[in-house]
């Protein structure tokens, strides 16, 4: 029988291994979604459907570019966290670690490419 | 407390069907996850559309034509339902986390509301935009 307390034994367990950090992170990004998803649907919906020139003109205005840029950051990181959560639940060991690394890479590629595209459209 | 079976307890069992009757609470929760995963895939299309628009008219024409075709419209419509459904599902999580609506009746009511409101929102924005 060890001298460890129950608190100490529980630390680092759970599927995410980081205690309640992920829970709090999801709470924050869930609240951010409530703002960004309606804004994104309206903004992107207005922009979709125009000709090439109309789209270029639309995204050279600050508001559409900023809203779509912010939504990309908020939504892609939230959906990645969602996918990582699912990975932690169902994929274990090395495969799980590699899947999480791959999802992180996908997240940064999507956000990076999207923001670059918006900057280029806007400027 | 701590000296219990650690290694081989069942994790995330897939028991829906013969062992576990589907309910509004469980199914609505599962669909929050499914829509989250699908929307990560869907955001690839959005980023593709943006980078194509910033690259050339030909690149833009391809992906824009894809998104505005009949199949593209259907995909966009379901993506919109998924977006609003996921948003409301996460709102429900936040409400639960703050300690409200934890009883079964209210959770089930919210689940039915999530389906209804997300479909209505998608139809509304699909027509307006």
Q: What is the pLDDT of residues B12-68, one digit of tens each?
A: 556 666 667 788 888 898 999 999 999 999 999 999 999 999 999 999 999 999 999
Task: Check: CB of residue A55 under 8 Å from CB of residue B53.
Answer: yes
Q: Please report, for residues A54, A78, A87, A103, B44, the alpha-carbon distance to residue A98 in angstroms, rounded to integers and kept in the order given.
A: 42, 19, 10, 9, 20
B118, closest residue in chain A (CA to CA): A38
**B18: its two tokens:** 């013969």
**pLDDT tens-digit map of B41-52:** 999 999 999 999
Chain B partners within 8 Å of A33 (Cβ): 86-87, 90
Q: Hey, are the CB atoms on B53 and A116 less than 8 Å from each other? A: no
User: In this predicted model, which residue has the larger pLDDT, A18 or B124?
Assistant: B124
**A44: its two tokens:** 């992107």
d(CA A8, CA B66): 54
Digit-by-digit pLDDT tens for chain A (123 residues) are 678 888 888 888 777 778 788 889 999 999 999 999 999 999 999 999 889 999 999 999 999 999 999 999 999 999 999 999 999 888 989 999 999 999 999 999 999 999 999 999 998
> Quick check: B86 pLDDT over 90?
yes
**B41: its two tokens:** 């895939």
pLDDT of residue B2: 56
Contacts of B27 (CB under 8 A, 6+ apart): B111
Contacts of A75 (CB under 8 A, 6+ apart): A33, A36, A37, A40, B39, B43
pLDDT of residue B19: 67
Task: Check: CB of residue A68 under 8 Å from CB of residue A117.
Answer: no
The 10 Å CB-count burial string (b at 16+, else e) for A74-110 is bbbbbbbbbbbbbbbeeeeeeebeebbeebeebbeeb
Nearest to A79 among B39, B47, B94 (CB): B39
State how far Cα B28 lies from the chain centre: 10
Q: Hey, are the CB atoms on A30 and B60 less than 8 Å from each other? A: no
* pTM for the whole structure: 0.87
CATH topology of domain B24-128: 3 helical TM bundles of succinate and fumarate reductases (1.20.1300)
pLDDT of residue A12: 80
Distance to chain A for B38, nearest Cα, Å: 9
């Amino acid at each position: 029988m060890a001298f460890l307390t129950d608190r100490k034994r529980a630390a680092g367990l759970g599927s995410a291994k980081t205690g309640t950090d992920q829970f709090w992170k999801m709470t924050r990004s869930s609240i951010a979604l409530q703002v960004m998803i309606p804004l994104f649907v309206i903004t992107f919906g207005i922009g979709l459907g125009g000709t090439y020139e109309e789209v270029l003109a639309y995204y050279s205005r600050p508001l559409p570019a900023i809203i779509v840029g912010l939504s990309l950051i908020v939504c892609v990181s939230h959906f990645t966290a969602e996918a990582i959560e699912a990975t932690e639940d169902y994929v274990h060991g090395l495969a799980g670690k590699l899947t999480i690394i791959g999802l992180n890479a996908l997240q940064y590629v999507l956000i990076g490419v999207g923001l670059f595209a918006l900057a280029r459209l806007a400027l | 407390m701590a000296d219990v079976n650690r290694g081989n307890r069942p994790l995330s069992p897939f028991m829906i069907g013969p062992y576990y009757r589907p309910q509004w609470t469980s199914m609505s929760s599962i669909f929050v996850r499914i829509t989250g995963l699908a929307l990560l895939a869907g955001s690839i299309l959005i980023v593709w559309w943006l980078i194509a628009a910033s690259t050339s008219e030909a690149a833009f024409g391809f992906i824009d034509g894809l998104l505005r075709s009949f199949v593209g419209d259907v995909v966009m419509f379901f993506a919109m339902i998924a977006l609003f459904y996921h948003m409301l599902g996460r709102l429900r999580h936040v409400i639960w986390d703050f300690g409200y609506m934890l009883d079964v009746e209210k959770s089930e009511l919210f689940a039915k509301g999530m389906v209804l409101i997300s479909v209505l929102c998608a139809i509304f924005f699909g027509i307006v935009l």
